[in-house]
Amino acid sequence: MIASYPQARLRRTRATAWSRALHREVLITPADLIWPLFVTEGTGVEQPIASLPGVSRWSVDGMVARAREAVDLGIPCLALFPNTQAERRSDDGREALNPDNLMCRAIRAIRDACGDAIGILTDVALDPYTTHGQDGLVNHAGYVENDATVEVLVGQSLNQAAAGADIIAPSDMMDGRIGAIRDALEGAGHANVQIMSYAAKYASAFYGPFRDAVGSRGLLKGDKKTYQMDPGNAEEALREVELDLAEGADSVMVKPGLPYLDIAVRVKEAFGVPVFAYQVSGEYAMIEAAVAAGAGERDALVLETLLAFKRAGCSGVLTYHAAHAARLLNR
């Protein structure tokens, strides 16, 4: 039991900057950040994304430059997402299995340039490769087939691991895909390739700018509610996480981030495993819109929101503000 006022004055330790720093319970550092990047075709290409102010698609050479920038800033890992050309998309997403696809070329180029100085996390799902914008294979009724999709995701994972990916991150939300991918990685000699499962990924309204970035928004037929989670469910998130851990996930992700901090807290308390949050495109765009409207100051908003993830128990955060935040934290 703590003392009562005036013996206990909680403002005492807040009175000076040095004391506030000394008593701060949670810190955010560049090492807590994963930087999502979008890769596109060409050379010397930068394509600003209108719905994500300050974020661009980069050609492979630009991705290498961003990787070197991340190393200099102390950001330990990049998350890669491809903007696949329309002519390479198909109903079955077969381009995901091409060993010379955009994602694999970016992985190899970054690995050649930076070696093991930075980690490479790769998205596993078919929506960047399909003509219909769904994360898996669709049957005649428009339903995403689970087991047939998992077979393709396994091949996609092996393709990325062979190119040099460090972390396979399945974002598709198919049942059983973590176990199938883990078994395949072990069998192919990729025992040290990690799996970060999008274990609690919700059918959210916050993904719009991301779909612009990978070119799937205008293609998406229907919605993703038959495989992504209902925003009203929390107990189900714990079941999803438990299953993915049992199947071999090394870490788990909660997505989106701030609207689902309660889920991150519950997952951390229930399982005590590394939990990552994805501060998704809609969250980023809202901060930028607030700044543009004069409703907030970017630096303060960015650092406060990132600190919230750490306070909730997250080991790290995927954020489009990663480079900006790292510059602020390195001052």
Q: Under DSSP, is residue 156 helix (H, G, I), strand (E, B) or coil?
A: helix
Question: Does residue 16 lie in a domain region?
Answer: no
- pLDDT tens string 36-85: 999 999 999 999 999 999 999 999 999 999 999 999 999 999 999 999 99
pLDDT at 221: 81
pLDDT at 2: 77
Average pLDDT (18-25) is 96
Structure tokens at 251: 């870490």
Q: 201, 224, 268, 310: which is the annotated catalytic residue?
A: 201
Whether the pLDDT of residue 195 is over 80: the answer is yes
Q: 224, 255, 268, 310: which is the annotated catalytic residue?
A: 255
Say which residue the tokens 């991340």 belong to: 70
Average pLDDT (325-329) is 98
pLDDT at 218: 82
Q: Which alpha helices (DSSP H) does the chain contain, by range?
A: 17-23, 60-73, 102-114, 146-163, 177-187, 208-214, 235-247, 261-271, 281-292, 298-311, 322-329
Domain that holds residue 180: 30-330
Average pLDDT (264-288) is 98
Average pLDDT (137-150) is 97
Task: Name the CA dihedral angle for 180, 175, 276, 154, rounded to a multiple of 10 degrees.
Answer: 30
Whether the pLDDT of residue 220 is over 80: the answer is yes
Our count of domains for the chain comes to 1
- pLDDT tens string 91-102: 999 999 999 999
The whole-chain average pLDDT of the chain stands at 97
Question: Does residue 114 lie in a domain region?
Answer: yes
Say which residue the tokens 């596109």 belong to: 40
Question: Does residue 19 lie in a domain region?
Answer: no
Residue 215 banded pLDDT, cuts 50, 70, 90: confident
User: Contact at 8 Å (CB) between 266 and 32?
Assistant: no
Question: Does residue 261 lie in a domain region?
Answer: yes
User: Contact at 8 Å (CB) between 318 and 278?
Assistant: yes
Which amino acid appears at position 275 of this protein?
Answer: V
Residues 6+ apart with CB under 8 A from 25: 311
Q: Under DSSP, is residue 275 helix (H, G, I), strand (E, B) or coil?
A: strand
Distance CA 201, CA 254 (A): 6
Distance CA 101, CA 107 (A): 10
Residues 6+ apart with CB under 8 A from 73: 30, 323, 326, 327, 330
Residues 6+ apart with CB under 8 A from 209: 49, 51, 52, 281, 282, 284, 285
pLDDT at 222: 87
pLDDT at 1: 66
pLDDT at 163: 98
Say which residue the tokens 């998309």 belong to: 89
Q: Which residue has the higher pLDDT, 218 or 186?
A: 186
The dihedral built from the CA positions of residue 256, 257, 259 and 261, taken in this order, carries a sign that is: positive
Distance CA 182, CA 158 (A): 10
Whether the pLDDT of residue 142 is over 80: the answer is yes
pLDDT at 217: 80
Average pLDDT (100-121) is 98
Residue 216 banded pLDDT, cuts 50, 70, 90: confident
Distance CA 130, CA 90 (A): 5
Question: Does residue 17 lie in a domain region?
Answer: no
Question: Does residue 23 lie in a domain region?
Answer: no
Cis amide prior to 256 (ω within 30 degrees): yes
Q: Is 201 annotated in the active site?
A: yes
Whether the pLDDT of residue 179 is over 80: the answer is yes
Q: How many CB atoms lie within 10 A of CB 45?
A: 15
Question: Does residue 299 lie in a domain region?
Answer: yes
Whether the pLDDT of residue 226 is over 90: the answer is yes
Percent with pLDDT over 70 in the chain: 100
Residues 6+ apart with CB under 8 A from 4: none
Average pLDDT (194-207) is 97
Distance CA 252, CA 178 (A): 11
Whether the pLDDT of residue 174 is over 80: the answer is yes
pLDDT at 83: 96
Question: Does residue 286 lie in a domain region?
Answer: yes
Q: CATH number of the domain that 100 lies in?
A: 3.20.20.70
Say which residue the tokens 């990916």 belong to: 165
Average pLDDT (312-326) is 98
Say which residue the tokens 């209902």 belong to: 230
Say which residue the tokens 């509610």 belong to: 225
Whether the pLDDT of residue 152 is over 90: the answer is yes
